[in-house]
Amino acid sequence: MKRIISVFCLAFLFITTYTSCAPAAARYQYADTAMGTIMQFNLYAGSEDSANAFAETATDMLTQLEEELLSWRLETSEIYRINAVAGSGQATALSEKMVSILTECLDMWEASEGAFDITLGELTRLWQIDAVAAGEVEKGTYRVPSAEEIANALSHCGSDKLNMDSTGATIVVLADMQLDLGAVGKGVALDEISILLSNYPDITGAVISAGGSVLVYGTKPDSSSWNVGIVNPFDTSATIGTLTLEGSGWFVTTSGDYERYVEVDGVRYHHILDPATGYPVQNNVRAVTVLTKKGQTGDMLSTACYVLGVEEGMKLASKYNAEILFVLSDGSVKMSQGMEQYFHSNE
Q: Kind and range of the H or E element at 232?
A: strand 226-232
**Pick from 225, 227, 197, 224: nearest CA to 43:** 197
DSSP symbols for 293-331: SSHHHHHHHHHHHHHHHHHHHHHHHHHTT-EEEEEETTS
* From 303, 308, 326, 339, residue interacting with ligand AMP (rule: CB under 6 A): 303
Q: Enumerate residues 157-216 that contact ligand AMP by CB under 6 A.
A: 180, 182-183
DSSP symbols for 150-180: HHHHHTT--GGGEEEETTTTEEEE-SS----
* From 35, 70, 82, 120, residue interacting with ligand AMP (rule: CB under 6 A): 120
Does 183 interact with Mg ion (rule: CB under 5 A)?
yes
Query: What is the rounded end-to-end Cα distance, in angstroms, of the chain?
Result: 33
| 15/111 with CB nearer ligand AMP | 111
Which residue stretch of 38-46, 235-243, 253-261, 325-333 sits at the interface with ligand AMP (rule: CB under 6 A)? 253-261
Does 305 interact with Mg ion (rule: CB under 5 A)?
no
Residues 309 and 339: their CA atoms lie apart, in Å, by 17
CA angle 330, 334, 340 (to 5 degrees): 140
Whether 267 contacts 251, CB under 8 Å: no
Which residue stretch of 19-27, 49-57, 163-171, 303-311 sits at the interface with Mg ion (rule: CB under 5 A)? 303-311
* From 129, 177, 210, 285, residue interacting with ligand AMP (rule: CB under 6 A): 129
* From 14, 30, 80, 116, residue interacting with ligand AMP (rule: CB under 6 A): 116
Q: Which residues bind Mg ion (CB under 5 A)?
A: 183, 299, 302-303
Q: Which residues bind ligand AMP (CB under 6 A)?
A: 115-118, 120, 124, 129, 180, 182-183, 255, 259-260, 271-273, 275, 299, 302-303, 307
